[in-house]
Homo-oligomer: A and B are copies of this chain.
Amino acid sequence: MTTCFFCTNQGGNVLYNCELYRIVLVDDANYLGYLRVVLNQHRKELTDLSITDNLSMYAAVIKCEQILRQLFQPEKINLASFGNMTPHVHWHVIPRFINDRHFPNPTWGEVTNLDYAPSSALLLAQQNLIQEFQSLFLA
């Protein structure tokens, strides 16, 4: 348990925290607005959770998608729950843009645009995300 990354690290800048999960902003210069919804207990699979907790996590993921669409107006939202390396339930919620570093591949795939740098509009959206996330999430 003590060697699990998400049991010993927040995994990013905590924007929201409740008993069941935390929502963190991942520090990734290529992917502004990259959120993770991390379970606040060590479980391997989503189906190891009760239906209630599983759906509560998913509702948080969907709320993150809504907020990211509103603030970042991305080309696409990418959702994933893998955990092959860190088998502790967590969701990735990633706003994607045409010509971003891996587009149209998943961010785990081949780099397609090595020179990509987020625009100033995205930097501003990230500032707004940090400032407004909690109120938008609870709205």
Contact = CB atoms under 8 A, between A and B. Distances in A.
A3 interface: no
A85 interface: yes
Contact of A80 (B46, B80, B104): B80
B66 A76 contact: no
Nearest to A109: B108
Contacts of A75: 84
A82 interface: yes
A55 interface: yes
A83 interface: yes
Contacts of A104: 84-85
Contacts of A96: 84
Contacts of A85: 104
B47 A65 contact: yes
A77 B96 CA distance: 24
Contacts of A78: 80-84
Interface of A: 44-47, 51, 54-55, 58, 62, 65-66, 69, 75-85, 87, 96, 103-106, 108-109
